[in-house]
Structure 1
């Protein structure tokens, strides 16, 4: 059986590990977290109204409108499972749950 001291130490290590993971994730982002949330909101509306054509059409429109560099953002989205607008919502948005 683990001692109380060992349990506390393990909890502290888990917190440090989680914090390091979050910091690494944030530093990898090609745009601000707030921009991602605005993108997700816009995609929710567009996909509900028009559906997904399995491209990044709406994402690219958002990036162009807000003068964000798609050369950095699109590869990052692809690396993280966002190959089309609906996948951005399904696979990328969940990565931001801890930042709401």
Structure 2
């Protein structure tokens, strides 16, 4: 029993040492693209300027229309005044009715 386990351990150790030797001797070369580890490459200046311009244009559009066309948000109808509602509109029964 110990001999069979000992053989398995020797096989695992030999595989581990062979794989490590192969991995240490191989080098991966990449010449086609930039490479960075856990850090993105900095964007190009033109892309940053375009993004800033489009973001500014978007906020101008939103704030301009909030100021000049506020009715699109709150509605274009007059706001109801609750003091003008009748008891019938509110669903309140008349006072002289017996329960």
Could you tell me the TM-score, scaled by structure 2's length?
0.31
Q: Which structure carries more relative contact order (alpha carbon 8 Å, separation 6+)? A: 1
Query: Which of the two has greater helix per residue?
Result: 1
Could you tell me the TM-score, scaled by structure 1's length?
0.31
